[in-house]
Amino acid sequence: MRINKFLAEQGVASRRGADGIIAEGRVTINGKVAKAGDDVGAADDVALDGKLLSHKVKYEYYILNKPKGCVCTANDEKTERPRKTVMDFLPKGAGRVFPVGRLDYDTEGLLILTNDGELAYRLTAPQNEIPKIYLVKVQGSVTPVQLNRLRSGVEIERGVVTKKCRVNVVETNKSYTKLHVTLTEGKNREIRKMFEVVGKPIDFLKRIKLGDLTLSGLDRGACRRLSQEEIFYLKNL
């Protein structure tokens, strides 16, 4: 098993995050500093920051209705005053898990947390095109031209063009418009940047659906374990 996959299954980080930890020289295999691409087996001693990791893993799966005003990370080390993180909403006794993908500081909604690296990879790998639906609210109306630009893909950064997506108006009046946007990719702040390109900055953004999984019955800031049926569903998306 590749070392980054092993670390992901330990709940240390996602595979991408594990690659960064390995590059920092914090991981050893049988006493030697690990390198990207190293393989480990059941007989190997793997340590992180000098602490030996067990080969036995108990997977945990949670769904959180993330409120705005918190970050999708285990520790907020980028500010002098650490902000609240999604880990603060986990139930007491929860094991070491990490968020699957990210919702930015001001975005609310559905977030999966787990230490199952394979599932995290399945849900976030762009080639799997897992649909995620967001509720968007902007001021005023959105014109057919703006809608068609969003649906066709827009350049959100130099050379970075979004994929075609579904954008449907669900409510509109003189004051605001609410829309459902369905994405199958997850670029950084993608939806906010898309709407800025067409001149409609977002006032409210919430992920409401992942595949067929919804936030039904889960209040803002509430977190619960996924059922076996939900876990099976996500693993087979």
Q: Which class for 194: exposed (0-12), middle (13-18), buried (19 or more C-beta within 10 A)?
A: buried
Whether pLDDT at 26 is above 70 = yes
Is residue 104 among the annotated active site residues?
yes
Same structural domain for residues 225 and 206? no
- Report how many domains make up the chain: 3
- Report the CATH number at residue 30: 3.10.290.10
**Per-residue pLDDT tens digits for 163-214:** 999 999 999 999 999 999 999 988 889 999 999 999 999 999 999 999 999 9
Same structural domain for residues 14 and 77? no
Same structural domain for residues 185 and 156? yes
Q: How confident is the model at residue 27 (pLDDT cuts 50, 70, 90)?
A: very high
Domain of 106?
61-127+217-235
**Per-residue pLDDT tens digits for 83-128:** 889 999 999 888 888 899 889 999 999 999 998 888 998 899 888 9
Instruction: Give CA–CA dist 130/100, Å, rounded.
Output: 13
Token pair 């418009």 is at which residue? 177
Q: Which class for 149: exposed (0-12), middle (13-18), buried (19 or more C-beta within 10 A)?
A: middle
Same structural domain for residues 112 and 144? no
Catalytic residue among 45, 88, 104, 212: 104
HSE-up (13 A, CA, CB side) for residue 107: 21
Q: How confident is the model at residue 77 (pLDDT cuts 50, 70, 90)?
A: low
Same structural domain for residues 144 and 196? yes
Angle at 72 between CA 68 and CA 74, to 5 degrees: 130
Same structural domain for residues 45 and 150? no
Same structural domain for residues 77 and 34? no
Q: For the whole model, what pTM was predicted? A: 0.79
Contact 111, 99 (CB under 8 A): yes
Lowest mean pLDDT among 63-77, 105-119, 144-158: 63-77
- Report the CATH number at residue 103: 3.30.70.580
Same structural domain for residues 39 and 72? no
Q: How confident is the model at residue 29 (pLDDT cuts 50, 70, 90)?
A: very high
